[in-house]
Each structure stands twice: as C-alpha cells, then as structure tokens.
Amino acid sequence: MIRIVHLSDLHFGTVRAHLLQPLVAAVRALCPDLIVVSGDLTQRARVGQFRAAAAFVNGLAAPVLVVPGNHDVPLFNPFVRFTAPFRRYAQAVTADLAPVWAKGGVVVAGMNTVDPFSHQKGIYRPAALTQVEQVFSAHPQAKLRIVVAHHPPQHDDGVDKHLPRFAAEGITRLAAAGADIILAGHLHRWRASPLAEVKGVRGMLQVQAGTALSGRVRGEANDFNLVEQMADGVAVTRFVAGDDHIFRARGESRFAPGRSGWGIVDVSLAARPVLRSVT
C-alpha cells in the first residue's frame, strides 16, 4: 500500500531551525513512497529562501511532488510578480507547476492555485482543472486519485481568508473527474474530513496540513500528515512537534468510499468538519 507524507507551508525565512532535523528524521522514519509539499516553501520568495527550501527538499529520502503557494511569488517586487511570478521558484525548485506522480494504483496530480494578481486569494483556473481531468483520464485503472493544491476549496467556520476564485466549479469538476482527496495548506490549520455536502456532487476528502516548520503557527502546533492507502480506504495520521521538538503521531482518522462519496469510518483525533461550504 502507498504511503504519502504531506508537508505544507514551510516558509523558509521564518523557520524554527530547531525543527529541521527532527522533521527530516520523522519523515525518513516513515519510509514514504512520496512526499508532497503543498506550497509556501518560502516566506518572501527571495533567492536565499528558495535556496534553503530546495536544499531541504532535496535532502528528503523519497520522491517529492511540490506545488507553489502564494508566498512563493514576490510580494514587494511588482514587476517580477506580474511578468515572471514563478521564475525564482522554477529556477530553485522545479519548472513543473503541475507535477504528476503515479505508482501502485495511486495517481497524484499537482495543481497551481496561485494568483499572482492577488496576495492571498487563490484561483482554481479552468485550464488547471482541465489538466487534472486529463491526468486522471489517462489512468482509468487508478484506485486512488489525489489532487495537491495550496489553497483548499472549502474553509472551516472562523477562517478569515477568502475562498479561491472558482472554488465551487473546482469541487464539481474534480469530483466528476474521480478525485478522492485534496491535499492542501495555506490556512496553517490542520484538518482531515469530508468536504461539506454539495448537492449532486460526489463527496471528496479535504486534508490540510498546518505549517511544518514556520513560527507562524496561528495558535496551532507545527505538524504534517501521513496519508496511507488501505485495502478499504485511506488512513490519515497527524504528526505534531512536541515541547522536545520531536514529531509524534497524535492519532489517526480512517475514511472509506460509499455511494455518495467518502465518509469517516473511525476517528481517534478531532477531524474538523467543514462548517462553511461554497455555493
């Protein structure tokens, strides 16, 4: 069965240096088939920050699939931001803004949801959705289809950030394409639960990681996820950094597909429900 480590919001430039080695050790100990980083590798998209982020990513002992986040385009350099927003990211990390990985019946499709014309608010571009649809259609025998995006398409109640543009269309199209899970970050809030019900739309799972390394924790712990393919569904385990800086498992949530989509089977940690849906 496939094991995927899900990291997000590294924010090199604001990292807690004492967490670097414990995080690498924890990830390596899990022996994942794939490591996903769902955006915001840097704090201000500076060359030195990208260099540090790339060194960290390259030091992980597994294949890595990365997508950019809104902090990975320059904020205070409008000319670069609007003419070549992903140039530094491409030079340091990867020029592929929509990477794909497939193994053992699992297909993972990265999607770029960053809008260079908006500092925070993302976008589920129709062209990007079409690309994911094409990836999934090229793997008709896949048993598990995963989308990686920086911006989640739904927010919990109390989140003060805007939903991405075209998020509702994104949910509909991704579900129709057979997506099972959306791995995201951006909010620095952990979550693993089904999306709020949308009439006529097959239910998917939204799994969020908080910030793995940054001091910008917003009242939550530094964490990451382990997503495991099971015979009858998936298991999501949250790993949290303790006072001794060691990342340890803090329970597991299990999910399985049903007639109307994915649902919770067993939860041994608090899986936040979606309280604010898109219309």
Range of the structural domain that residue 115 is part of: 3-267
For 274, list phi and psi in degrees, rounded to 5.
-80, 125
Identify the helix (H) or strand (E) that includes residue 110: strand 106-110
Q: Is 275 a member of any domain?
A: no
pLDDT, position 97 = 98
What strands, in cross-sheet order, belong to the sheet with 191-194?
A: 100-103, 106-110, 144-148, 181-184, 205-208, 191-194
Task: Provide the CA 171 distance to its chain's centre, in angstroms.
Answer: 15
Q: Which residues contact 60 (CB under 8 A, 6 or more apart)?
A: 24, 27, 28, 35
pLDDT, position 227 = 98
Contact between 210 and 222 (Cβ < 8 Å)? yes
pLDDT in tens, 122-157: 999 999 999 999 999 999 999 999 999 999 999 988
CATH number, domain with residue 93? 3.60.21.10
Q: Is 86 a member of any domain?
A: yes
Cα 235 to Cα 3, 28, 133, 202, 231, distances in angstroms: 10, 19, 25, 19, 10
Q: Is 278 a member of any domain?
A: no
Q: Is 193 a member of any domain?
A: yes
pLDDT, position 90 = 97
Q: Is 277 a member of any domain?
A: no
Residues of the chain where predicted confidence (pLDDT) is lower than 70: 268-279
Task: For residue 274, give the DSSP letter.
Answer: P
pLDDT, position 139 = 97
**pTM higher than 0.75:** yes
Q: How far apart are CA 161 and CA 180, in angstroms?
A: 25
What strands, in cross-sheet order, belong to the sheet with 223-230?
A: 64-67, 34-38, 3-7, 223-230, 233-241, 247-258, 261-267
Number of compact structural domains in the chain = 1
Closest to 115 measured CA to CA, from 86, 87, 92: 86
DSSP 156-207: -TT--SPPPBTHHHHHHHHHHTT--EEEE-SSS--EEEEPPP-TTS-B-EEE
Answer left, alpha or beta for residue 135, where phi above 0 means left and psi between -120 and 50 means alpha: alpha
Q: Is 272 a member of any domain?
A: no
